[in-house]
Structure formats: structure tokens, C-alpha cells
Amino acid sequence: MSIFSSFNASASALTAQRLRMDVISSNIANAQTTRATVNENGEWQPYRRKMVNIEPKGQSFQSYLSHAKGETSSPGGGVKVTEIQEDDEPFKMVFNPNHPDANGDGYVAMPNVDPLKEMVDLMSATRSYEANVTAVNASKSMLMKALEIGR
């Protein structure tokens, strides 16, 4: 086990949570965007909510086997972002006949972004980021104390 393994794990988590906050911010910014992409029929579609998938690094069978054989010191090692996927939840239909994107019945397809859900996700990502900063600072403090032992 390296003395920097805690830094590496926290650094990967900080990067993943930062990306998560960026995607959530994009979702909030586009919560009212009715013309985000063009579909295969050449028609405009509303913005579709995006989500970040995060998985642990090195959690394969091979990493655990190497750890069991004593070839590596730790099977873990942080997290990684595997993909940014679009939410397949249907668009919200809102009655607004004066909107330029209203259909024949007066309904407008609005993005499938719920600002309340996004704010909760943002708070969760922020707290995770802060926890990892605290872990980095604790690791740094322990290493500094270890260096002071030699004096």
C-alpha cells in the first residue's frame, strides 16, 4: 500500500463529483430549453436530462485475485466515471397555446428536468466533494505528523 493511495482515491472521487456537479448545472440551466436537439424526422426536441454513472476503480475479479496472491497491496483505488447517460423519462407536456413550439392541441413538450431533484443531487454531490476534501486534508495532516517524528 502506497502512502499516496488515499490521495489517489480522494482525487478520483473529487474529479468524479466535480463532473457530476457540472452535469447537474447543465441540467438546471436547460430546464426550460424546448429546442435542444433535432430528431431523425428533422424536428426539434427538448433538452433531455443527463446523469453521471460512477463505479469503483479496479473492482474486477483480476484485481481481487492479484490482491489475494499478494501481487498488489490493495484491490481498490477510487472511483471512475463510466458514462454520462440521458434520462429516458418522457417529456412533460405543458398547456401553453401561445408558445412557438406548441403542437396543434396547444401543448408544449418541456424537458424532463425536475429542478427540485437536480438541487437535491447537487447538494449530494457538494457534500461528497466536501467529504473528500476533508479526507485529503486528514491524510496530509497524518503525513506531516509522520515527517515530524524523525526530528
Bridge partners (DSSP) listed for residue 107:
95
Range of the domain at 129: 2-31+50-86+113-150
CA distance 124 to 138: 21
Q: Structurally, how many domains does the chain consist of?
A: 1
Q: What is the pLDDT of residues 72-90, one digit of tens each?
A: 655 567 899 999 999 999 9
Would you say residue 99 lies in a domain?
Answer: no
Q: What is the pLDDT of residues 6-41, one digit of tens each?
A: 888 899 999 999 999 999 999 999 999 999 888 888
pTM score: 0.82
CA distances from residue 95 to 34, 107, 110, 122 in whole angstroms, order as listed: 14, 4, 10, 29
Would you say residue 101 lies in a domain?
Answer: no
Would you say residue 117 lies in a domain?
Answer: yes
